[in-house]
Amino acid sequence: MRTVAPILAAGLYAAALLVLGHAQQAAPAGPAQPLPFSHKIHAGTLDLPCGTCHLNPDPGKQMHYPTTSVCLQCHKVIKKDSPAIQKLASIAQQDGKISWVPIYQLPSYVYFSHRAHSKAGARCLDCHGRVALHEVLFKEGDISMGGCIDCHMKTSASVDCQYCHEAIEP
C-alpha cells in the first residue's frame, strides 16, 4: 500500500496539471480588425441573432459584414463616447465602409449559398463555431472540403461534385 499511495498521488497531480493546462489555453488569435468587436457581447450576452448585423441580400450567396449604419442603429446612443465608437462614427461620415478582415474564405471555384444552407436547417455555429463565446473571432469551424463532406454525409445532403463545384468542361 505504501508504494501505491505515491504513484496514485503522482497520477492525480499529473491529471490535475493536464486539466488546468487545458482549461487555461488561450483561444487562437484572429486577424487584427479595423475596429474592436465582441461577438461575446453582441451574440452572447445580448443574444442578438446573426442576421441582425449580417444581412443576406439576394441571391443569398453571402452574408454581408455589418455597415456603419447597422452598427450606429444602436451605437448612436450606446457607448457613443468610447474611442472605438467615435472611430466608427468617423468612418460613417467618410465612406461608411469598414474594412473587416475575413475570417473564412472559400475558393472561387466553390459554390456556396448561406441562404440555401439556412433553409436546409444549418445553423451559423455549424460552420463558424461558437462565436458567441469569443471576444475576438478566429477560424474555429472546419470549412475545408473534408469538413463540408462530413457535414453533407451527416445531414444526407448531396456529395456529388457538381453540387458545390462548377462542372469542368472537357
pLDDT by residue (tens digit) across 75-117?
999 999 999 999 999 999 998 889 999 999 999 899 999 999 9
Q: Respond yes or no on whether the N-terminal peptide bond of residue 170 is cis (omega within 30° of 0).
A: no
Share of the chain above pLDDT 70, in %: 82
Q: Which amino acid is at 59?
A: P
Model's pTM, two decimal places? 0.76
CB 115: neighbour CB atoms within 10 A?
15
Higher pLDDT, 130 or 166: 130
Higher pLDDT: 140 or 170? It is 140
pLDDT band for position 12 (cuts 50, 70, 90):
low
